[in-house]
Structure 1
């Protein structure tokens, strides 16, 4: 209230005959305006000290910084919203994508999205897209890109993915799928590729076994079953043979190179031949770097907003 009263007195005096018009704060104090705008409390304290000592104090210096501070606070609140992280991860069969996705999701809280899961969910729900996809699958044909791309798009645009960020697992798998996502304006911040040698991949796939009771995946060498009872009921997928896995790897390698042509500038290759802990340390470092860059971009945008 005291500052309001003082402003009124000063304004009245400035409009009397013979008085020059009141200058704005930026005109009178070009270098001091910003420095005092950050602290409303400091201005109030200064005013109180001046009054206590019986000195006359012009509130024009106080009132304008208050307005600047309020404006600055508004800009900060409007712009202090970091865009969530968007990640794509790719790798050949048995490259360790599933393990890394779990670790990423646990640390960063991203929404994990896999195209295969979306297809199965649509089919189970009996949606129109699910019915169309099922027709192709029952004929042993690949589901057209247009169906899968729309499923992925709709999932990425849901509220949880928009708020928390997303982790797209093993998709896109072809150039046409990647191009379709680009055309829809869907682009990740980073494309992680797990590089594993063919020799290691073949060993991992051929040694894989499934527990039909629990659905858990074991490996005869790296993750053997807990007991003989479980070991006795393990099954092997029909395509987890050396001959078939090599054909799958050949198809994967051809497709992934085409996909990388679109994401070349944001691709990070991680050696997947080492332990899952070390692999994740590399993935974690790459994600942290992306977050730091996004934060700097956000800060620069905020500074530009404050400057205007």
Structure 2
């Protein structure tokens, strides 16, 4: 997965709205907007304003299980998970690799940051309503 800088996502939205663009009528920005106050303010400065924003909440335990247990087979490139997509054999299981950013410590830090940013966004949204 690659993190795309906010300004590039906004440029794509802008290009899509031009007369020869995609003429977006419906769109979903997964993991981008508005994830924090800066993203919300950047989006508000454009002509693209969402009419709905969904915040999907999971417990930390569910997030940790989903992320920290996933691993990739370096031979096939297929991602496996012991709960949702077990490996087909012990041979595949023995060669699985996990990404460093999927460690419990890193995921816990990311969840903490998400909670801080999304809480500020929710408070700001309520104030504007």
* Range class of TM-score, shorter chain: 0.7 to 0.9
Give the alignment's TM-score, normalised by structure 2: 0.75
Q: For residues 44 and 69 of structure 2, what CA distance do their matches in structure 1 show?
A: 37
Determine the structure 1 residue equivalent to 2:8: 148
1:47-76: CA deviations, max 9, x gaps? Answer: xxxxxxxxxxxxxxxxxxxxxxxxxxxxxx
1:54-106: CA deviations, max 9, x gaps? Answer: xxxxxxxxxxxxxxxxxxxxxxxxxxxxxxxxxxxxxxxxxxxxxxxxxxxxx
What SS does the aligned partner of 1:162 have?
Answer: coil
Give the CA RMSD over aligned residues: 2.8
Is the CA contact (8 Å cut-off) linking 2:10 and 2:43 kept in structure 1? no
User: Which structure is larger by alpha-carbon Rg, 1 or 2?
Assistant: 1
Q: For residues 157 and 214 of structure 1, what CA distance do their matches in structure 2 show?
A: 39
Q: Which segments of 5 or more consecutive residues in structure 2 lack a partner in the other structure?
A: none
Q: Which has the higher strand share?
A: 1
Q: Which has the higher helix share?
A: 1
Q: Which runs of 4+ in 1 moved over 6 A?
A: none
What SS does the aligned partner of 2:14 have?
Answer: helix
Shift of 1:206: 1.6
Determine the structure 2 residue equivalent to 1:167: 28
Is the CA contact (8 Å cut-off) linking 2:73 and 2:80 kept in structure 1? yes
Relative contact order (alpha carbons < 8 A, sep ≥ 6): 1 or 2 greater?
Answer: 2
Shift of 1:154: 2.9
Q: For residues 241 and 171 of structure 1, what CA distance do their matches in structure 2 show?
A: 22
In the alignment of these two chains, the number of paired residues is: 124
Q: Which segments of 5 or more consecutive residues in structure 1 lack a partner in the other structure?
A: 1-113, 120-142, 266-308
Is the CA contact (8 Å cut-off) linking 1:115 and 1:148 kept in structure 2? no
Give the alignment's TM-score, normalised by structure 1: 0.35
